[in-house]
A and B are shown apart, each in its own frame.
Chain A
């Protein structure tokens, strides 16, 4: 089989554009579906029906929501700082979408040799990932750290003491749980030996003792910590006090209306999708199949992501919310030490355990 020629810059640009369009479109589609599914599922859990009037079974509800948000009046407080006020939701949404760039959605797809495809594309493997960074997980951590700024800016730019407090609380919650989030990944990174997400998925291949080699079995405490920290990162119930509807008005996005509010919501849901995709890549083997001899495919990945999204919606329908001081205490006094101890345990196991791989210090 002859090696395909390396791509010229123009061809590389076309392939990258295709990847970006594909992943962007898929995530936006999932986002609109999620807004509808969440409302329906929450309704069923609360023993009511949810939106079922717009279109068959209420399926056109996201369209109706979009039209409503589009036509709502754009309000801006008079004493607010204009450019910061406009920048904050843009930053929130931008950081949510930037994190999508390094998440792989499946193994590279080998394009078939159709006559319809241009000659240089046929037979080439098309990665389902926009950028395969060597420091993929670090990049995601960095982008999550930048997401805090959208909230701080929104809280401050509205020139309103409630939004300022809400913004500060929300961002304090976010970066507290970000720490636990990052620490929960360290065990996974140690097992895979690399920050690259493709490597981490590859390290979960194979089966041992009848179970697949997934990190959820090998690193279960880290998985639990990750799930809790991710719920807090996305400000989902039970950690949604900063935007709690009953307290602090609507938190940092009180003064936002119409499209800017929609952008905040979009940022939040895209964050949720990214976090679910990461959970399935880091802990559940990504696109690998749990049953032996069944080939890995994108559909396993999709199934896992949808399962996680269902889990987050389920959490929302079930649990009451944390009080703010309980939230901070839980994050700093329980989660971070637990994650650190687990890292110590994993490192000890790797250094002295059965599969000891000790590097010789030179």
Chain B
């Protein structure tokens, strides 16, 4: 990857990290949602830089463009206020959370750091036609069709669950 690509990767990686931290630390859930949108858009750019334009476009279309809009709708319709930090997370919970997450980062981080990955495979071409061929191949066709049924089930389920029961 050329120098411009590398620079973009680090820039958007930093943006993703900062937005993720902003999302977790914000008190108002609506601002957290906007921060998460920013995370998803920067991840989409990183996907594009890692050679997957199809997944980059899908990330924006599905996640940033549909799922997050759904989140924002629910937040705005339920008129969610700032999170009251009353009891907040108890001290013990914070300690346990910090310990567990640190353990996770340390373990997995050491594996990734010393992974000794060679150079990335050459001749990597992630064209949409190849993705489509793979998706409709014998390996993934069943999963593809099952996913469409799953989405239909989720659609019906969401409508039924959110409906007022007195109808």
Interface residues of A (CB under 8 A from B): 84, 133-135, 138-139, 141-143, 145-146, 148-149, 152-153, 156, 164, 168, 171-172, 175, 193-195, 359, 361-362
Inter-chain CA distance A142–B66, complex, in Å, is 10
Cβ–Cβ contact B37 & A145, under 8 A: no
Cβ-closest chain B residue relative to A196: B128
Among A152, A172, A195, A359, the residue within 8 A (CB) of B128 is A195
Chain B residues with CB below 8 A from A133, complex form: 53
Assuming the A-B contacts A195-B128, A361-B141, A362-B138, are A138 and B69 also in contact, with contact meaning beta carbons closer than 8 angstroms in the complex?
no
Chain B residues with CB below 8 A from A361, complex form: 136-138, 141
Q: Is B108 an interface residue (CB 8 A)?
A: no
Q: Is B43 an interface residue (CB 8 A)?
A: no
Cβ–Cβ contact A145 & B60, under 8 A: yes
Among B34, B37, B44, B57, the residue within 8 A (CB) of A141 is B57
Q: Please, what's the 1-or-0 string for B134-154, where 1 marks a CB less than 8 Å from any CB in chain A?
A: 001110010000000000000
CB distance from B129 to the nearest CB of A (A): 7
CB distance from B66 to the nearest CB of A (A): 7
Cβ–Cβ contact B65 & A148, under 8 A: yes
Q: Is B102 an interface residue (CB 8 A)?
A: no
Q: Please, what's the 1-or-0 string for B22-39, where 1 marks a CB less than 8 Å from any CB in chain A?
A: 000000001000100100
Cβ–Cβ contact A145 & B65, under 8 A: yes
Inter-chain CA distance A141–B64, complex, in Å, is 12
Cβ–Cβ contact B73 & A134, under 8 A: no
Chain A residues with CB below 8 A from B72, complex form: 152
Among B34, B133, B138, B141, the residue within 8 A (CB) of A359 is B133
Q: Is B101 an interface residue (CB 8 A)?
A: no
Cβ–Cβ contact B76 & A168, under 8 A: yes
Q: Please, what's the 1-or-0 string for B99-142, where 1 marks a CB less than 8 Å from any CB in chain A?
A: 00000000000000000000000000001110001001110010
Q: Is B61 an interface residue (CB 8 A)?
A: yes
CB distance from B68 to the nearest CB of A (A): 8
Cβ–Cβ contact A156 & B65, under 8 A: no
**Interface SS of chain B: helix, strand, loop or mixed?**
helix
Inter-chain CA distance A175–B61, complex, in Å, is 11
Cβ–Cβ contact B65 & A175, under 8 A: yes
Q: Please, what's the 1-or-0 string for B13-27, where 1 marks a CB less than 8 Å from any CB in chain A?
A: 000000000000000
Cβ–Cβ contact B60 & A142, under 8 A: yes
Cβ–Cβ contact B60 & A134, under 8 A: no
Q: Can you identify 19 A-B contacts, CB atoms within 8 angstroms?
A: A84-B34, A134-B128, A135-B57, A138-B58, A138-B61, A142-B44, A142-B61, A143-B60, A145-B61, A145-B65, A146-B60, A152-B76, A164-B76, A168-B77, A172-B73, A175-B66, A194-B129, A359-B133, A361-B138
Inter-chain CA distance A133–B60, complex, in Å, is 16
Inter-chain CA distance A145–B70, complex, in Å, is 12
CB distance from B95 to the nearest CB of A (A): 35
Cβ–Cβ contact A142 & B57, under 8 A: yes
Assuming the A-B contacts A141-B61, A361-B137, are A152 and B69 also in contact, with contact meaning beta carbons closer than 8 angstroms in the complex?
yes
Query: 5 tightest CB-CB pairs across the interface, nearest first?
Result: A145-B65, A142-B60, A138-B57, A135-B53, A142-B61
Cβ-closest chain A residue relative to B73: A168
Q: Which residues B50-67 have CB closer than 8 A to chain A?
A: 53-54, 57-58, 60-61, 64-66
Assuming the A-B contacts A138-B54, A361-B136, A361-B137, are A156 and B30 also in contact, with contact meaning beta carbons closer than 8 angstroms in the complex?
yes
Cβ-closest chain B residue relative to A140: B57
Inter-chain CA distance A133–B67, complex, in Å, is 25
Inter-chain CA distance A139–B60, complex, in Å, is 9
Chain B residues with CB below 8 A from A153, complex form: 34
Cβ-closest chain A residue relative to B60: A142
